Amino acid sequence: MHVISKVDIEKFLELKKTIQVIDVRSPKEFEGGCIPGAVNIPILNNEERAAVGTHYKQAGREPAIGMALDIVQPKIHGFLSDVARIDDNENILVHCWRGGMRSARFSEYLSDNGHNVSVLVNGYKAYRNVVYDCFNKKWKLLIIGGMTGSGKTDILKHLSEKGHQVIDLEMLACHKGSSFGALGQKDQPTTEQFQNDLWEAWKDYDISKPVILEDESQAIGAVRIPDHLFAQMRSSPVMAIEMNLDHRAARLAKEYTNFPDEQLKEGVLRIRKRLGGLNAQKAVKAIESGDYLEFVKIALRYYDKAYSFGLDKRESAQVHALPVKTDDPSTNAQLVDQYFQENKMKLWKA
């Protein structure tokens, strides 16, 4: 028999840098949110877990455990086969929801068959608590704002290259936030998974230094920024990129020519009430005639108004206008960096 050890979340996070994590929760639990990089080998499938839960309520703990063991026993060989397909599987990390029966049984099977196993104390719940705790801390945030089409995401990339601590929320959310935000994106994660992925991108950042993010609504498509983090974002200094309409419209029109017209028209229809019926009709006709610049300018009437409304809700002392003369994100990132370097001592005193 090889070693089974119990590890706390701090040790687990260190070990997972080099050791494979196996999540033995049901597929439904795993799909709702998981530790990035984990492999799901469910000890009970969705239906089996539901049946055991029902039996627990009706007959009690011991009969439910007996039922679970009867279900699992014929599947042990399959578990071992799944683990055998993992590269470098002598050492394995295992967790379930709360570090209970499922991870304990699975670890025994692995240990009996030549694997050294570390089990996460308090399971996936301990990981989620770390995620919550991170975003409940007081971070020094700098928000990159600006009306739609200002190239904020590209500016973030260049700031990252300059060594700043940067988080691209839209990349993690697989959505750009607008009615057209899903175009060209993968399916969105669940909110829980988005927050896990956000923490993985954030976890090594220095809390004494600023973290730079794009200005967002709390909902980015179907996912939500953690409450406490979003509250901090709304009270943090904003560097508002001021780019003229022609530059912004041209940038967006070039981007939207890459997508099918039907998808663009669907995006227009989703904001039809906010655009107004006549403007929506004009936007659809512009798409159908290939006049993407006109379509974009119509859509921007709504998005510019919505952004200005949101900016007006912030304390004026926290909003720092940064006019730009070009739509080149490298040049504009340099301006942001220069402003930051010259004003960093007072940005968080406003």
Q: Which residues are marked as active site?
A: 96
Closest CA to 238 of 302, 173, 312, 297: 312
Q: What are the strands, taking DSSP E only, across the chain?
A: 4-7, 20-23, 39-40, 91-95, 116-120, 141-146, 165-166, 211-214, 219-220, 223-224, 238-242, 319-323
CA 94 from chain centre, in angstroms, equals: 24
3-state secondary structure of 117: strand
Per the CB < 8 A criterion, the answer to whether 160 and 48 are in contact is no
Closest CA to 119 of 94, 101, 102: 94
Torsion 321-323-329-333 (CA) sign: negative
CA 97 from chain centre, in angstroms, equals: 21
DSSP 75-88: GHHHHHHHHHTSSS
